[in-house]
Amino acid sequence: MENPIRNIAYDALVIGAGIAGGETALNLANTGYKVLLVDRELSVGGKMIMLSKVFPTLDCAACITTPKVSEISRHPNITIFTGSEVSKIRKVSDNEFVALVTKQPRYVHIEDCTACQLCEKACPVNVRDQYQFGLIGRKAAFIPFSICSPKAAAIDIDNCTLCGACEKVCPTNCIDFTMEVETMELHVKTIVVATGFNLFNAEKMPRYGFGKYKNVITAQQMERELAPTRPFNTILRPGDGKVPDKIAYVLCVGSRDASIGNPVCSQICCMYSIKQAQLLMGSLPMADVTIYYINIRSFGKGFEEFYQQAKGMGVNFVKGKIGRISEKENGNLILRYEDINEGKLQEAEHDMVILSTGVLPNTGIDKLFENQKLQLDQFSFIGQSDMLASPAKTSIEGVFVAGTATGPMDIPDSILSAGSASSEAISYLIQHP
Amino acid sequence: MSKINPAFNKELEKFGSVNYNACYNCGNCTAVCSLSTEDDSFPREMVRLSVLGLEDDIRSSLKPWECYYCGECSTHCPQEANPGELMMSLRRYLTAHYDWTGLSGLMYKSLTLSIIAFVATFAAVIAFAVSVGFELEKMLHFGHMFEGIAIGTIGFTILLPNIARMWYYTILKPKTKVTFMKYVKSIGELFIHMFTQKRALGCDDNQFRWFEHFILVIGYLSLLFTTVVLNWFGTSSLFVIVLGYIMSAIVFVVTIDFVKGRMKAKKEVSKHSQPSDIFFVVWLFLMGLTAFMVRLFIDLDILESNKWLYIFHLTVLVQWALIIVPFGKWTHFLYRSFAMYFAKLKAD
């Protein structure tokens, strides 16, 4: 890294541009503060923008996220750095933090790109599309996804062959392979951490066969299959492209499981699985959908009714954690479980299995702070110094936390938490001008 | 009506159970168990019975004996409730309950008592040796006599009544109707399981452990036969001598691997070894080794000048026959076989 660009000043730095970070940035910006919003992905919107619908209202997730995202993008008080990461934070005084931000080159000048997709067509490289969670492929010159923001192409330099085909077809000459890593030194008065969560990697439970059996997918992948901007235009199982008609959900994959190191409940899996089951019954009216659960935790407003609605629609609920999954020759899967209500071991055949993977902390944020200690809780989520009275406060004065960075929660709770973090940050800015 | 014993948890702890109250009834243990079937689902059922302290149901159950402890249930238990070790503790608990003398239970619960028993038997052997003036001929004669008498006495006064008690708890008391013909017809099950432990083959990635176990059982029983019936230490038949060497070598070589496993305690099955488990494998090892050495010394004609070896062998033998066989883990071998027999009787 060369000499950083210095003397950039903002009132607030928001790390993470998901729904919580975005909401926080908007609240701060609407109050008149200058905000820098940083996200390591190529688009703002976080995990929510990739979802199909939200529970328990079945509202379209993109229809809630995209207006918000465009508001963030167009707001005069918000500057967005995508493909960027904060690498160091030092607290100088009560109203000054110095943060080092590294911006990875996109190799495309965003302001000139018209998202015409000609570069995509020209690019000869095919790789798995991480924004569709590996369900389909994409090019090395690509638009991340259809509703991304900023809507501009990017070059995946790790897979690029540097053939120059994209450069030749680009009508606005916005592709620029001379771009380099930029490092910036920022001076901000307050920081909001909204770094979200990671989903459990289902490959860590080999007995469920994810990664080995093609028709075992994660709920995140099913979320893409159900979304309005979905890749296949219908529900297909990846093994052979068959439309499934006996679908199983396996709950608590990577949550409430001390044997894989995460003993806590992820709070969202029951509900998103019930939501997906309802959507599947809409997409595939003849399909059987079974949810294998330990306990259904429908604790929020309207959640129990939503659960009962799924039961009424004919979703099967079976109490019993899946022990093992094995694959038949035709790609169907045998699920072994104990039916707790009967007390008997059972085996069931399904043609597609969806693993409802749990919420894990997005680790490493505490390492950014150089001269202060950002306390974590016992599960490595960011610790709330006063959880009951001021849930957005952290162990560092002037650093606040929003959304799932503090622990598993659903979208309404994340937005509430963002509201709390932004008002705490505003109050801090007023007290430390 | 079922009787609940709220203090059962405390009782079972003495037999080595750990943390089974953490169970949240997901059934994962039953689902990962490769021996569990639709008609015979465990171990969660046993966890449930233990949590509630339903002692009558536990005593009438054969399921603890149907588990061969591969440890998969404990490895994958989301609550780390250790169902595998619970099944092991239940086997110890049942052993104590089948035993009419009550000594099994006392020795499981108290290491001190076990050590006292071991020391007392050692003292008795020394006292005997003194009484015969350390005369090798007399000691050898006694040792041979002892084996035969001990097998008969222990078998008729302790093991047989205990099997009868097991039968009472599991078949008679729950009022299972079994015709006499069924008892006769199913008897094959008993011997198949006794000699082959074929059920353990059903455990995943357990083929080697089963094979070791199989060789050990065959080796042990043959060694017993060679020493007791064929009088290995007194014989001059070359065939018997060689047979004895092979069998005793098998016993101590195979047990080395078991002892090593217990010491390392890496696999789920040996993570929570109790003293009784250690005694069992170590004494089996010593039995094989000392028998081998004694015969070797006889053949080299140096036993006369190394009487200590025979005294040591005799001590191990007496401790094995009077402590470990009737009250220790040896009985599991017997109860397991009978459990499979009784399970066959219970099945339609």
A219, A357 contact by CB (below 8 A): yes
**Nearest-5° angle of CA A384, CA A386, CA A387?**
65
- Looking at the structure, tell me whether residues A323 and A276 fall in a common domain: yes
- Looking at the structure, tell me whether residues B109 and B81 fall in a common domain: no
Six-digit token string for B192: 């198949």
Domain span at B28: 8-98
Q: What is the DSSP annotation of A246-302?
A: EEEEEEEESSSBGGGTB-S--SSHHHHHHHHHHHHHHH-TT-EEEEEES-----STT
Chain B CA closest to residue A207: B32
- Looking at the structure, tell me whether residues B147 and B167 fall in a common domain: yes
- Looking at the structure, tell me whether residues B151 and B294 fall in a common domain: yes
- Looking at the structure, tell me whether residues A151 and A19 fall in a common domain: no
The per-residue pLDDT for A1 is 45
- Looking at the structure, tell me whether residues A264 and A336 fall in a common domain: yes
- Measure Cα distances from A407 to A21, A70, A162, B22, B46 in Å: 15, 27, 42, 23, 35
Q: What is this model's ipTM?
A: 0.88
What confidence tens digit (pLDDT) does each residue in A46-58 have?
A: 999 999 999 999 9
Are A337 and B38 in contact (CB < 8 Å)? no
- Looking at the structure, tell me whether residues A131 and A80 fall in a common domain: no
Cβ neighbours of B80 in A, within 8 Å: 258-259
Tell whether the torsion through CA atoms of A358, A364, A368 and A372 is positive or negative. positive
- Looking at the structure, tell me whether residues B129 and B82 fall in a common domain: no
What is the rounded average pLDDT of the residues B76-102? Answer: 94
Residue B29 maps to a domain: yes
- Looking at the structure, tell me whether residues A164 and A114 fall in a common domain: yes
Q: Which residues of chain A have pLDDT under 50?
A: 1
Nearest one of B8, B21, B2, B110 to B53, comparing CA atoms:
B8
- Looking at the structure, tell me whether residues A206 and A351 fall in a common domain: yes
Of B37, B75, B79, the CB nearest to A345: B37
- Looking at the structure, tell me whether residues B234 and B129 fall in a common domain: yes
Please tell me whether the peptide bond between A263 and the residue prior to it is cis, using omega within 30 degrees of 0.
Answer: no
- Looking at the structure, tell me whether residues A189 and A113 fall in a common domain: no
- Looking at the structure, tell me whether residues A99 and A89 fall in a common domain: yes
- Looking at the structure, tell me whether residues A275 and A381 fall in a common domain: no
Name residue, tokens 């771009």: A179
A41, A25 contact by CB (below 8 A): no
Given B75, B98, B121, which residue is the final one in a domain?
A: B98
- Looking at the structure, tell me whether residues B36 and B124 fall in a common domain: no
DSSP H or E segment with residue A1: none
- Looking at the structure, tell me whether residues A315 and A325 fall in a common domain: yes
CATH of the domain at A122: 3.30.70.20
Return the C-alpha torsion angle A275, A277, A282, A287, nearest 10.
180
Residue B323 maps to a domain: yes
Domain count, chain A: 3
Are A294 and B24 in contact (CB < 8 Å)? yes
What confidence tens digit (pLDDT) does each residue in B39-77 have?
A: 899 999 999 999 999 999 999 999 999 998 888 999 999
> By the CB < 8 Å criterion, does B77 face chain A?
yes
The per-residue pLDDT for B205 is 63
Are A338 and B77 in contact (CB < 8 Å)? no
Given B98, B113, B137, which residue is the final one in a domain?
A: B98
**What is the end-to-end Cα distance of chain A in Å, rounded?**
32
Could you tell me how many residues make up chain B? 348
The per-residue pLDDT for A365 is 93
- Looking at the structure, tell me whether residues A175 and A223 fall in a common domain: no
Highest mean pLDDT out of A319-333, B233-247, B300-314? A319-333
Given A339, A358, A377, which residue is the final one in a domain?
A: A358
Are B27 and A207 in contact (CB < 8 Å)? no
Domain count, chain B: 2
- Looking at the structure, tell me whether residues A18 and A76 fall in a common domain: yes
Q: How confident is the model at residue B348 (pLDDT cuts 50, 70, 90)?
A: low
The per-residue pLDDT for A2 is 56
Chain B CA closest to residue A339: B27
What is the rounded average pLDDT of the residues B291-299? Answer: 91
